[in-house]
Amino acid sequence: MSVETPSTVELSPSAVAEVKSMQSHQPAEAGKPLRVYIEKGGCSGMQYCMMFDEVRDGDTVVEREGVQLVVDGFSLDYLRGSIVDFSEDLNGGGFKVRNPNAAQTCGCGRSFNSENQT
């Protein structure tokens, strides 16, 4: 596990609040970190995924206001400098990743492509 360094991945205050709310309504997930990762797929080639999980060897851990976010090394290459945000907007609400490494993002905001894609 590595500790956070500048320009890893950030959690916005609204994302922190939503994770805390989700964990309070899902006791089995309470205290687990939120894992943010990417995998091939989606309409732009790579898609963002999130789940409550455990910290694994090689993960980078970011903590904000008692909420831990974990990112594996492969995903960190694509997510470095990103902000995980949450919006309650009626249209397009939910978790969003604002990723400065995305060369192109699809209309739904859940997938992207990058010049680093392999």
pTM (2 decimals)? 0.79
More confident call, 9 vs 105: 9
Whole-number pLDDT of residue 72: 94
Q: Pseudo-torsion of CA 72, 66, 13, 49, nearest 10°?
A: 30
Is residue 17 situated within a structural domain?
A: yes
The domain that contains 13 carries what CATH number? 2.60.300.12
Segment 25-60, tens digit of pLDDT: 999 999 999 999 998 765 557 888 999 999 999 999
Report how many domains make up the chain: 1
Domain interval for residue 14: 2-113
Whole-number pLDDT of residue 18: 95
- Is the pLDDT confidence value at 108 over 50? no
- Is the pLDDT confidence value at 62 over 80? yes
- Is the pLDDT confidence value at 111 over 90? no
Q: Which of 81, 85, 67 is nearest to 15 (CA)?
A: 85
Cα 71 from Cα 83, distance rounded (Å): 12
Is residue 118 situated within a structural domain?
A: no
What does pLDDT average to over the chain?
82
Is residue 72 situated within a structural domain?
A: yes
- Is the pLDDT confidence value at 80 over 80? yes
- In percent, the amount of the chain with pLDDT more than 70 equals 76
Is residue 8 situated within a structural domain?
A: yes
